[in-house]
Amino acid sequence: MVMMSRLRAILQASPCKSLWRGIQIPRSMPVRPCSLYTCTYKTRNRALHPLWESMDLVPGGERQSPINIRWRDSVYDPDLKPLTISYDPTTCLHIWNNGYSFLVEFEDSTDKSVIEGGPLEHNYRLKQFHFHWGAIDAWGSEHTVDSKCYPAELGKHHKELQKLVDILPSIKHKDTLVEFGSFDPSCLMPTCPDYWTYSGSLTTPPLSESVTWIIKKQPVEVDHDQLEQFRTLLFTSEGEKEQRMVDNFRPLQPLMNRTVRSSFRHDYVLNIQTNKQNPNHPPAK
Ligand SMILES: [Zn+2]
């Protein structure tokens, strides 16, 4: 198994119609597996962006995000059907630096780019997607899965993602926006249909507890150099002292009284022994 310089794709759908966010999470790159302690320790020393620093002093609600998903504790729900996602690349409008991430926004007045199925009762229109990333490849995701970093393998160069990367220099500073037509975000979606879902919140103010989180099991691999380009963006406006846009993710929140459901059957033992070869079932090529 292979987890690596990759983005874990996360769909975030809220009951508010037409708010759907596809969120990408860069994950992990260490050469060997590391313990929860190691990962926590590494990220604990990062400087929190003021956006999250002040918010985390406020007592949270009961369904805040992000969380650590524990594979073993997630509950298979056979009623969770596959998600259906359709995109119309021409609905892509622009890309802007909002001071803590960059957002690609879509025209959402009609049902041209929609997600439906899975745990969702209605269909949702794609409104925007954005990313969270770390200062280095060892962390960066908001949600974590089993609190672990995984062994590295080379990521892939995404041609469609490169379109995005190429335009980043023009939105280097906070509050800059440029037109960005015809982007197909489906390259950022893993092909495997399996996902986890739980009830959570926005991870930026106002932290509204109105989000159905859908986290794909399969992360998307990306090229280290493409991720490195994300880190050339700035939290700051032109003229201000430059602050690199890195570690723009909210810290983990307690699960409280919630259950994470999975759309797939799983066996925890298999999950932790993925590197062992079974002679009857050689690894897929
Ligand atoms: Zn986000």
Q: How far is the CA of 51 from the centre of ligand 1 (A)?
A: 12
| 281 alpha carbon – ligand 1 mean position (Å) | 38
Q: Is residue 26 part of a domain?
A: no
Q: Containing domain of residue 66, as a range? A: 1-12+49-279
Q: How far is the CA of 250 from the centre of ligand 1 (A)?
A: 8
76 falls within a domain = yes
Tell me which residue of 158, 89, 87 sits closest to 116, measured CA to CA: 87
8 A C-beta contact, residue 260 and residue 70: yes
The number of angstroms, rounded, from the C-alpha of 88 to the middle of its chain's C-alpha atoms is: 21
Q: What is the CATH number of the domain that holds 87?
A: 3.10.200.10
**Apex CA 158: angle with CA 156 and CA 160, to 5°?**
170
> φ, ψ for residue 163 (rounded to 5)?
-55, -40
Residue 27 resides in a domain = no
Residue 271 lies in a domain: yes
Structural domain includes residue 168: yes
Number of domains the chain is built from: 1
Edge-to-edge strands, sheet with 114-117: 83-86, 114-117, 124-125
Q: State how far Cα 223 lies from the chain centre.
A: 16
The answer to whether residue 22 is domain-embedded is no
Per-residue pLDDT tens, the chain, 285 aa: give them.
Answer: 333 344 444 444 433 333 333 333 333 332 333 334 444 445 555 666 777 776 555 556 899 999 999 988 999 999 999 998 888 989 999 999 999 999 999 998 989 889 899 999 888 888 888 888 888 887 778 888 887 544 344 456 678 888 999 999 999 999 999 999 888 888 778 888 999 999 999 988 888 898 999 988 888 777 888 889 999 999 999 999 999 999 888 888 999 999 999 999 976 545 444 444 444 454 444
Does residue 42 lie in a domain region? no
Distance between Cα 22 and ligand 1 center (Å): 8
* Dist CA 133 CA 109 (whole Å): 30
15 C-alpha to center of ligand 1: Å? 16
Token digits of residue 124: 């949702």
CA of 158 to the centre of ligand 1 (A): 21
DSSP tag of 258: -
CA distance linking residue 118 with residue 10, whole number of Å: 13
- Asked whether residue 41 is assigned to any structural domain, the reply reads no
